[in-house]
């Protein structure tokens, strides 16, 4: 009896304790020559060997894994509990998961048995006995495998009830009322039509619990779901109005609070705060508002550059009071708070500038020149070099910048201001003039305020990453459509550029685990670091192994097909018309041929030829002319 009770308790723990990815459950990780996946503990130690082509996080005690192109499920011990047999699967939602086999999609149980037959294009489980389905249409392309993963409901669906096979008469737009990862989904937002103009709450039987009336709905968050008709409010877990619909704007609830907004347009909207019991603790008259957890244990609001904590209905100013020193350097510089601004003084208290500064460049740069958020918030100063101070309203972009020495004196005497001034890194900084009717100009200064590169019309940018590699300051000089590397005196760094180019070309032939793309004549293959051949050099183009497969053009099929770890073509995943090892949003690949298959072959060959030194640049991505008008090669290029 005790054993049976323990088994039930264990099952309940698996079902309820792993609704979201639990910290106690191993997490997926991938690597090695073939890019296979396993599972590791929080310390990074392997718990389940790297033997799966793909691996997803555990949900409801099971994790989806791909083996030889087909999907199944494992338990936290790594045991396969649902045999790999599906072309694609969704994550489990309690005891159900979407799964595709052949040309259809249905819903399976935890044993891998179909409880809703695979006769749909989509079949997303809802509760235990229902699903949101898209019917098969032979006139359109079948389901896309990647669409089965994720909790987004982009399509219009029909409501399907498993116990009697009832299908709703028309299509609906749905949105989650309770997210699948949160469990116990018995209600869902639904629109009576496919347009999604208004939403109500539907139960697992397909009946309306709340009649459609809301123009905007959100999922439950902190026990409340934000809704809107003409005004904003929120409903509780039963769908009852909990926050009256009387607000101009309302964000989601978290840690007992939500941000409310005024009637102003989005860009200038004022903010306030409301508690989950409906009490407005800050009217929407502030520049910004933070819930607890974003800023500490109390909510806070910001007005005129100053933050105020809200405690027992009172506003308590945040930070040091006026006149207090918030940062200093041992050489004498002090930063003194004055309202929302600062006064910068020397050791004797003499102001460096006749007016307060709106911004001080707090933070100490790392080896790459980057500043951490923690360094910014702690008001550290880099006292090894002059410090940037900014006059004017930073939010209005009406500013002037200059430098103050660590002793509190101005770097430039008489004072000199710039449109922008970069932090010093490795003893040098880039400055930009505002033009004042002329062309904008850029230059480089040293810690003594001397120009090592005179102001000029070509844009200059610091490059901390390459500076770290070179062990000296390196800058990028942009001239027309070209970019070159220079030192602090403007001299070209041809040796550095050559070394970087060699590294970039090498990356165009480098794969996981030290393996590389090899070639014989104009044909390509893959070899291990020790020279062992994984794929013979017989293909016009080839990608590196990722998720257990490499991709190569199969000439007789006119498609790209997967190659398994044995170096031979296999049938799953399915062959595809065109393959690109990377994608850039809002761009399309450079055109080498009209045929999509041939174009993708020539595109990847161009990248491999770049790696061999037979081409000046990698193939390009061309902007779509709407979201992007840029055209550029991707560096580094990875096959």
Question: For 252-310, what is each residue's pLDDT tens digit?
Answer: 999 999 999 999 988 889 999 999 999 999 999 999 999 998 555 889 999 887 888 99
- Average pLDDT across the chain, whole number: 88
pLDDT tens digits along 393-444: 766 667 899 999 999 999 998 889 999 999 999 999 999 997 665 688 999 9
> Which tokens in the block code for residue 31?
């690597």
> Which tokens in the block code for residue 229?
């008709």
Residue 230 pLDDT: 94
Please report where in the chains the tokens 């041939």 appear, as a residue: 598
End-to-end CA distance of the chain: 58
What's the whole-number mean pLDDT along residues 169-186? Answer: 86
Please report where in the chains the tokens 């619990």 appear, as a residue: 209
Residue 488 pLDDT: 95
Exposure class string for 302-317: b at 16+ Cβ within 10 A, else e: bbeebbbbbeeeebee
What's the whole-number mean pLDDT along residues 218-227? Answer: 96
pLDDT tens digits along 442-475: 999 999 999 999 999 999 999 888 888 788 999 9
Neighbouring CB atoms inside 10 A of 357's CB total 24
State phi, psi for 536 to the nearest 5 degrees. Answer: -60, 150
Residue 368 pLDDT: 59
Residue 16's H or E segment, with its range, is: helix 2-17
User: Alpha-carbon dihedral of residues 291, 296, 298, 304, nearest 10 degrees?
Assistant: -70
Before 573, cis peptide (omega within 30)? yes
Exposure class string for 90-105: b at 16+ Cβ within 10 A, else e: bbbbbbbbbbbbeebb
Residue 196 pLDDT: 84
pLDDT surpassing 60 at residue 206 = yes
Distance CA 242, CA 224 (A): 8
pLDDT surpassing 60 at residue 11 = no
Where exactly are the structural domains of the chain?
1-80, 248-317, 322-417, 427-492, 506-633
3-state secondary structure of 402: strand
Distance CA 628, CA 589 (A): 13
pLDDT surpassing 70 at residue 565 = yes
Residue 94 pLDDT: 84
Instruction: Place 7 in a pLDDT band, splitting at 50, 70 and 90.
Output: very low
Residue 69 pLDDT: 92
pLDDT surpassing 60 at residue 157 = yes
Distance CA 38, CA 78 (A): 9
Q: Give, in order, the Cα–Cα distances in Å from 586 to each of 198, 481, 604, 620, 630.
A: 31, 21, 19, 13, 10
Residue 636 pLDDT: 75
Neighbouring CB atoms inside 10 A of 56's CB total 20
Distance CA 362, CA 390 (A): 12
Residue 6 pLDDT: 39
| % of the chain beyond a pLDDT of 90 | 62
pLDDT surpassing 90 at residue 495 = no
Of 19-28, 50-59, 204-213, 279-288, which range is least confident?
19-28
Instruction: Place 536 in a pLDDT band, splitting at 50, 70 and 90.
Output: very high
Of 254-268, 335-349, 563-577, 624-638, which range is least confident?
624-638
Residue 153 pLDDT: 81
Residue 20 pLDDT: 45
> Which tokens in the block code for residue 335?
């930063």
Residue 496 pLDDT: 83
pLDDT surpassing 90 at residue 585 = no
Residue 19 pLDDT: 45
DSSP strands (E only) in 255-357: 257-261, 271-275, 280-286, 288-290, 300-303, 306-311, 314-317, 325-328, 334-338, 341-345
Q: Identify how many contiguous H helices and E strands the chain contains and give both numbers.
A: 5, 51
pLDDT surpassing 60 at residue 10 = no
**How remote is the C-alpha of 535 from its chain's centroid?**
34
What's the whole-number mean pLDDT along residues 485-495? Answer: 92
Max mean pLDDT range (314-323, 480-489, 594-603, 622-631): 594-603
Residue 626 pLDDT: 86
Q: Which are the contacts of 227, defined by CB distance < 8 A and separation ≥ 6?
A: 214, 216, 217, 218, 233, 234, 235, 245
Distance CA 584, CA 569 (A): 28
Instruction: Place 370 in a pLDDT band, splitting at 50, 70 and 90.
Output: low
3-state secondary structure of 544: coil
Kind of pairing between the strands at 451-456 and 459-462: unpaired
Q: Give, in order, the Cα–Cα distances in Å from 351 to each of 343, 419, 596.
A: 7, 22, 67
3-state secondary structure of 71: strand
Instruction: Place 16 in a pLDDT band, splitting at 50, 70 and 90.
Output: very low
What's the whole-number mean pLDDT along residues 549-563? Answer: 96
pLDDT surpassing 60 at residue 98 = yes
Residue 500's H or E segment, with its range, is: helix 494-507
């Amino acid at each position: 009896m005790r054993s049976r009770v323990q088994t039930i308790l264990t099952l309940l723990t698996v079902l309820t304790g792993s609704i979201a990815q639990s910290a106690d459950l191993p997490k997926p990780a991938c690597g090695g020559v073939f890019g296979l996946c396993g599972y590791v503990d929080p310390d990074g130690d392997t718990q389940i060997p790297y033997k799966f082509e793909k691996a997803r996080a555990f949900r409801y005690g099971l994790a989806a894994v791909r083996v030889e192109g087909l999907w199944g499920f494992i338990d936290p011990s790594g045991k396969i509990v649902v045999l790999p047999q599906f072309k694609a699967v969704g994550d489990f939602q309690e005891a159900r998961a979407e799964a595709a086999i052949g040309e259809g999609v249905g819903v399976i149980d935890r044993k891998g048995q179909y409880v809703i037959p695979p006769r749909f294009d989509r079949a997303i489980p809802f509760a235990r006995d229902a699903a949101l389905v898209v019917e098969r249409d032979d006139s359109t392309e079948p389901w896309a495998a990647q669409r089965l993963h994720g909790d987004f409901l982009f399509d219009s669906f029909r409501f399907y009830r498993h116990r009697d096979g009832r299908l709703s008469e028309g299509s609906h737009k749905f949105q989650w009322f309770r997210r699948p990862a949160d469990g116990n989904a018995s209600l869902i937002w639904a629109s009576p039509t496919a347009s999604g103009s208004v939403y109500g709450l539907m139960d697992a039987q397909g009946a309306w619990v709340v009649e459609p009336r809301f123009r905007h709905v959100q999922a439950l968050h902190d026990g409340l779901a934000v809704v809107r008709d003409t005004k904003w409010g929120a409903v509780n877990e039963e769908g009852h109005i909990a926050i009256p619909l009387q607000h101009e704007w309302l964000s989601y609830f978290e840690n007992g609070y939500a941000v409310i907004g005024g009637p102003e347009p989005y860009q200038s909207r004022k903010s306030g705060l409301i508690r989950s019991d409906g009490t407005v603790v800050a009217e929407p008259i502030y520049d910004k508002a933070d819930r607890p957890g974003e800023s500490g244990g109390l909510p806070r609001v910001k007005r005129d550059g100053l933050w105020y904590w809200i405690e027992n209905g009172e506003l308590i100013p945040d930070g040091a009071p006026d006149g207090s020193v918030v940062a200093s350097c041992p050489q004498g510089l002090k930063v003194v708070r004055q309202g929302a601004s600062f006064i910068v003084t020397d050791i004797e208290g003499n102001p460096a500038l006749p007016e307060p500064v709106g911004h001080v460049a707090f933070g100490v740069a790392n080896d790459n020149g980057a500043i951490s958020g923690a360094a910014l918030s702690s008001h550290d100063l880099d006292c090894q070099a002059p410090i940037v101070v900014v006059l004017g309203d930073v939010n209005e972009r009406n500013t002037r910048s200059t430098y103050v020495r660590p002793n509190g004196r101005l770097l430039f005497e008489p004072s000199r201001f710039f449109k922008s001034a970069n932090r010093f890194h490795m003893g040098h900084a880039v400055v930009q003039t505002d033009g004042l009717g002329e062309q904008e100009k850029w230059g480089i200064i040293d810690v003594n305020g001397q120009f090592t590169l005179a102001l000029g019309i070509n844009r200059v940018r610091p490059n901390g990453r390459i500076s770290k590699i070179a062990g000296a300051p390196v800058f990028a000089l942009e001239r027309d459509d070209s970019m070159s590397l220079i030192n602090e005196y403007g001299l070209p760094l041809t040796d550095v550029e050559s070394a970087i180019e060699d590294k970039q070309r090498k990356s165009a032939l480098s794969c996981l685990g030290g393996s590389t793309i090899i070639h014989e004549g104009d044909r390509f293959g893959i070899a291990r670091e020790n020279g062992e051949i994984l794929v013979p050099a017989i293909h016009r183009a080839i990608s590196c192994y990722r998720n257990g497969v490499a991709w190569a053009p199969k000439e007789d099929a006119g498609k790209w097909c997967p190659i398994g770890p044995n170096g031979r073509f296999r049938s799953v995943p399915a062959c595809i018309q065109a393959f690109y090892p990377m994608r850039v949003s809002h761009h399309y690949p450079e055109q080498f041929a009209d045929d999509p298959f041939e174009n993708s072959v020539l595109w990847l060959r161009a990248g491999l030829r770049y790696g061999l030194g037979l081409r000046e640049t990698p193939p390009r991505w061309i902007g779509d002319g709407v979201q992007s008008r840029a055209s550029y090669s991707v560096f580094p290029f990875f096959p």
